[in-house]
Structure 1
């Protein structure tokens, strides 16, 4: 029995640590806050009942998070605690009873505040000037991001009035709904992936190394806590008014509540009206107003006893499933999508929800025209989380996953150990054909500027292009009739297509889209085979002798050249003057300063692209590898560095560098 309990505790701890890492280091919400807190409460209960399994590193005893290497690490003078969470009024009543027991002969009042959904920050002020800003990190230390914080207009650089000589202000950095939507609209125009939600975007923006780019994000801030050795007043509410007079942006919605009934009214009001706010909140924060009472109650190992967060549950609504459709991705992956009867959820009208794959549909037990429960817990894309079987029609049939591609009719295949189905008709399935051409013109391949995905789709529908070789037959007269195509744009496209004829062989080899042949593999192949003809004639045995080429890649190369349509495309590219042989300066190096050293880049790089970084390594005698292992000498980290950074930190022989330190290696 004891071993079972220990095993359960260890599994819960492991899962919660992984969820914390994803949330705080990678800005990924892998489950709703409610589900996370339920698991945390479960672990806390088991640990309390079984103290012999105490662990100082348990998620229940520390603030979730971690430290990245992008910015200097700074120790917090005053620890940044997290708050205990509650999801119902019973928890609040229990909390109130504990407080009343401590102050039987004193009145206790509360300050209720909106719980902004953003990233926590601690800002040091000395003599009325902003000195330093540090992220929460793990609660004991965080990242120093002062320059980025200075770009946020809500945060005063200098104070006014009778401010103390030295103190910290704690607050939340967030992104308004309007600014978040503006960022995504711009990204959509540029053909970039959309950000998932305002919280993650705000948190990620704070870790950008270019403060000018941070400024463009137009972040906002609300300050809610004064921290110092001495307090100039006796209540939290008075501190609010002082802070506002000094120039801080303080929440206009905060309110003093004389008792728990007023607290409940405040919570109920904002639970109903939160979507009218220009920013997102995920709950209400309650604090005892009297500072002496706060000090007397003190802290647990994790949280202040004088504060509590009431968190709203992820909103869930019921609506009717109208149909299930299937989308074909550019790699042939099939994604089922539920079309729903429109329903209002979290302030927006929801008409569709992803179903992910066949396993998810089976797990839900989904039938035609079912009434389903849809949840939107902090993400843009809603998901179906359950079914109301009581409303199911008696003759309703179970949803059967399609057998054939909805675009081309080809029978689908499912690769072992993968959740998705795939359409194998990669040369004639329209989404795959278009995706292949989009890949060919991409920056890392032939880098044909001005020829975006929308234009390629129009060209394909007009039957002007069917594979990459067709780009080189296009004329300005063929482009001009396209929607939103001006003469200047048409000229630019033709010029970019002509310019692509100088792109080196290794990029062309990557661009033509041989399955499993990425940038690094393409370079290895060009290093060993001087021309496309040599590569075409290579045997499986010759291919697997190339560094990093296994039998899977070798067979894929053989399959590509065994196809007559692919050979025709290659011959046409050759006729049009595309570089299909190794350049004379292919292996020229700038230096051997990185000789015999291995490198791996992770996270979002801001000083250079990943492609440029890997090229710098090779040009200076180093070698790029694809995974963290004892064979790695240097890990270079950018923004949002996650699991690779953590793995590298556990291997003493690996040196971790930021981008500037990598450039310093090159002198």
Structure 2
């Protein structure tokens, strides 16, 4: 076969498997098989660069784009939706449409309103040529290089209409991916994101597309911008989007009755929390394009659509203090200590202010009365000052609040950092992370005990934990023989944790629990990983250039090398056991994990389910095979019992797959 034909065949095959993996959650290739296909394509393109095209799967992450953030004029305006928070508003909107159309039998489509960032994708003869942000609605920014890294955005549409086609939608993150991203941000000493929308926006506007590629962004198609399509309605357009390989929001219904719209809104309010992504309301659209044209638009919004939003849980409280917290990589984060207040069923006593630019934007001071909201219904956030009572402006620290050392700020960044590697707050945070449940899981080595160990100078690095003796522990407050022995037993047991746990515990920048598992499974031993070349690391499918460089540099740092040798001498396990997988155990079964697990994090449990042939979901339905419930399991457990879905404890789940805790 001619090289050009073989390259085209491989591109089409890889895009097919990307669609199965990212859009349909139904991969049929192992990672190794996929990597082999990808390598074949990359090798051929390297050998015959004249046949390499921008829409190739190997080109999702390129270099700096010369047009990055240059203006892009939209073919038709990207209008914003009018917002409604009440059934009366929706009825009024419907009455206006009914009056203009002079009929009451028109169909409406109701779908979840994804809390993400608007994005316009322009294709020419099926090839993605431009991606743009919404901007002011008329002119956006060129974000093509970054959008190409979003794995479920098709680079090429098979059977696309000739000429120009513009698809609009929302770039977003799943809630669990936000948690993982924030963990990585903390590891790297970067500021965390308040919600999935902020994370998506920040990721799309990265100057380096390779950073964007490390963010698990996704895209939902939700509207049509321009082009000739074989559809006369929104629902027909959505069907075409599915055929072309786009993901669309699964939360959708169709009706001619405004009462059904309101009923769906009320029913959906609780169930939306079970979705893997944030939904802040519904969008109601007149279905037929002909009727949309008759209804028209205003200067800002279409008259044929409206957002029916849910109010975020909020409360008013006072700011008692603003503290500066130092993370394990030195980043200094301002945290507001609040007068405790119930918000959405949870008592909130503090809220992160993210960075000092946010403090300036809000104008918040100690003593102010503020509105606090559970952003994304999870993360407490101050959204507004309602009464200024404080006198002193909150300024960034000039010295580290923990060690008194110098504070540094990159000119182009918002974060402030303590640059003292021996800072006690950083050391404390690193040690607590090392001992945490998702890392080495040393039960009993929490905040209070760690503070005493540090005060007595018993520990100054990871390896010192393994040199603790019975006498050391008996010198600590509230320690008797049994408690001391239990902690020593937990420390000893941690030595046998697999390599994946140790890699996560070491706190390598950008290496979260999932990446650690992937690396451990690929390289099998710490020495193999430590000696891997930069190219070896970059060839791991899920590890990009930035993460690879971080890992490579870590293992060449003399202090890290010394630490590893001390851990080796302490007898820690440096190997990853081979997985004895059986595709029949959970083959084709969907599992939902809820509550607080004892021996692993939720992402680790979901990864286990996939390794044994199953699929992990964030919502419970009649198709769910098992719900695995940990401590403090809530609505998902109740839903499982209501539907008669089998419920397993964590121990029962591990027993089912033949694995010991």
Larger Rg: 1
Q: What TM-score bracket applies, with the shorter chain setting the length?
A: 0.3 to 0.5
* TM-score, normalization by structure 2: 0.47
